[in-house]
Structure 1
C-alpha cells in the first residue's frame, strides 16, 4: 500500500479549482480580443516566414564535414544538425501555439460580435474556443466557425493537401511514351494527385499537376514549363508556372556563372504575372578565398527590394590525410 497523504488539508486547498464549477461572469473586451488575435497571428506568420533563414544551420555542417573526415568531426556534424532540427521543431510548435491561441481569441470575439462592445462570456465559451467539445457551442458563434478538422472531413468539406505538401504518398513514375511519364500519388483522405511530365526534344520539360478530391472530382490543376540555355560560362534555367486557365502566374529564373568547374555567381529571381519581383536570392563566391555570401531580398511595402537575410560561408577546408 502506498503512503497516505500527510497533508490532506493543504492538498485540497492547493488542488481545488472552484472556478471550474461556475462563478462570476468573465468580462470580454471584443475589440481587445480581435487586436490580440491579429497580433498573435502576425507573430505566427513572422516565425513561419523567418524559419527558412535557419536552413544554413543544417546545410553548413553537412557541407563542412562531408567525405572522408575524422570520427570526431562526423560527431560534431551530427550534433550540430540535431540541434538545428530541435530548434526548427521548437519554432514550428511555437508558431502553431500562437496560431491556436489567436484562433481561440478570435472565436470568443466572434461569439459575441452581435452584442455590446463589452459583454459577458461564460467559461464554457472559453473552453469551447480551446477545443473542448464537452461544453455547448456558443449561441452567437457563426456556423462556419468552430468546426474541427475531423468534423470537416465527416461533412465532406476536407480540402486536399497542396500540390507540394509532404502529405502525399508518392507512387512510382510510369512511362507513358518515349517522352511522357505519369506519377500518381495518394493523399491522407483518399485524394489523388497526378503529375504528367513531357520531356520534349530540345530540353523543354512540361509538368501538369492535377489534384482530385476523395470523390474523384478535379479540384485544381497547374502546369510548369522548365527550359534551360547555356551562354558561355552562364547556365540559365527558367521555370514558368501557369494556372488552371493557362494564364502565366509566376516565373522563376536561376542563373549560374561558372569559373571553370566552380560556381562564381548564382542568382534566383521569382516574378509574378505582372512582372514584379517577389523574391531574389544571390550568391557570390570570392575567386581567391572561395568565401561565399548569400543574400535574400524581398519587396517592401513600397515595392522596393530590400535585403532581408545574409549568410557568409568560409572556405571549405580539406580533411587530414589518413595513412592506412
Structure 2
C-alpha cells in the first residue's frame, strides 16, 4: 500500500502554478517572436529532410540477416529494426513539436499585428498563449485575423483540411484493378473523405506512365501528377529514367538511375534527381570493390551555397560464405 503524503502544504505550494490562470500582462517582442517562429519552422523542415538519411538503419539489418538464419541473428535483426523505428518516430514527433511551437508563436504575433509594439506590450496575456496552443477554455484573441487560429481538428470538422500528400501513409490503399491488358487502377481513401486514384499504363516494350490524381471530399480535383518511366541497355549499363510532370503538364523533376554490371554482379550504381531548371537536388552513388566486393554508398545534397555535399556514407562488407544453418 502507498504512503500518504506527509507534506501536503509544501507539496501544494511547490506544485502550484497560478500563472496558468492568467496572471499579469506580459511583454511581447513581435519581431523577435516572428523570427523565433521562422527559425523553429526551419528546424522542423531540416529534421524532416535529414531523417531520410537514416533509412539505412532500418534497411541494412534486413539485408544482413535475410533468409534462413540462427534465432540469435533473427533477434538481432528485430532489435536493430525496432531501434531504427523508435528513432524515426522520435524524430518525427520532435519535428512535429517544433512545428506546433512555431505555429503557436506565429499565432501570438499575428494576434497583435494591428497594434503597435508599445500597445502590444501592455495588452498581451497568457490567455493568448494558451489559445495559441489550442486551449478551448480561453477566449480568442481580439486582434487575431479571422482566417487564422483554426486547429487541424477544426479544419477537419469544417472540411478545409488539406488532403494528405500523394505518398502519405494516411491513404488506405484499395485493390489494384486491371482496366485492360496494359492498364491498372488503384483507388485509395483519405482520412477526411478524399480519394486518390493511381492509373498505370504499361505498353509492351514502351514507356510506363503513371498518373496520380487526388480528389477532395466534394469530388473536386486537388492535384494531379504524371510520371513516365523508360529503361534502356547500353552493353553492360542499364539506365532507367523517371520524368515527373505537374498538373499543368510541365516537367518538374527527372530521376536517372544508372547501373553497371560485370556479368551478374553490379559494379557501380548512381541515382540523380534534377529539378525543372536542371539543378541536382539529390545524388546517390554506390561503388563495389572488384576484389573485396565491399560496397560504399554515398548520398549528396546541395548545401547552403548550392554545391553538392556528402551527407551520408555507408560501407557494407561482402556477405559471408558457408552453409545455411538452422536456427
Class of the TM-score when normalised by the shorter of the 2 chains = over 0.9
Measured against aligned partners, the alpha-carbon deviations of 1:220-266 in whole angstroms (never above 9, x if no partner) come to 11111111111111111111111122211111111111121121111
Alignment partner, residue 38 of structure 2: 38
Aligned equivalent of 2:229:
226
The residue aligned with 2:62 is 62
Counterpart check, 1:253 vs 2:253: no
CA RMSD of aligned residues (A): 2.0
**TM-score normalised by L of structure 2:** 0.93
Tell me if structure 2 keeps the 8 A contact 1:69–1:319: no
Which of 144, 164, 189 in structure 1 is aligned with 2:167? 164
Q: Secondary structure of the residue that 1:114 maps to in structure 2?
A: coil
1:63-88, Cα deviation, whole Å (9 max, x unpaired): 11112222111111111111111111
Equivalent residue, structure 2, for 1:97? 97
Counterpart pick for 1:278 among 274, 278, 281: 281
Q: What secondary structure, in the 3-state scheme, does the structure 2 residue paired with 1:161 have?
A: coil
How far does residue 156 in structure 1 lie from its aligned partner after superposition? 2.7
Alignment of 1:1-324 (within 5 A): 5-118=5-118, 119-120=121-122, 121-318=124-321, 321-322=324-325
Verify the 8 A CA contact 1:68 1:319 in the aligned structure 2: no
Q: Which has the higher contact order (CA 8 A, sep 6+)?
A: 2
8 Å Cα contact 1:31/1:117 also seen in 2? no
Moved >4 Å (runs of 4+):
1-5
CA contact (8 A) 2:194 2:216 kept: yes
> Aligned pair in 2 of structure 1 residues 29, 289: CA closer, same or farther (>3 Å)?
same
What is the DSSP-based 3-state SS (H/G/I as helix, E as strand, rest coil) of the residue aligned with 2:187? strand
Aligned residues: 324
Q: Offset of 1:22 from its aligned partner?
A: 3.6
In the alignment, the residues of structure 1 paired with residue 18 and residue 244 of structure 2 have an alpha-carbon distance, to the nearest angstrom, of 59
Unaligned runs of 5+ in 2: none
- SS of equivalent residue, structure 1 residue 294: strand
TM-score by length of 1: 0.94
Unaligned runs of 5+ in 1: none
Aligned partners of 2:68 and 2:325 also within 8 Å: no
After TM superposition, give the deviation of residue 219 of structure 1 in Å.
1.5
Distance in 2 separating the partners of 1:21 and 1:60: 51
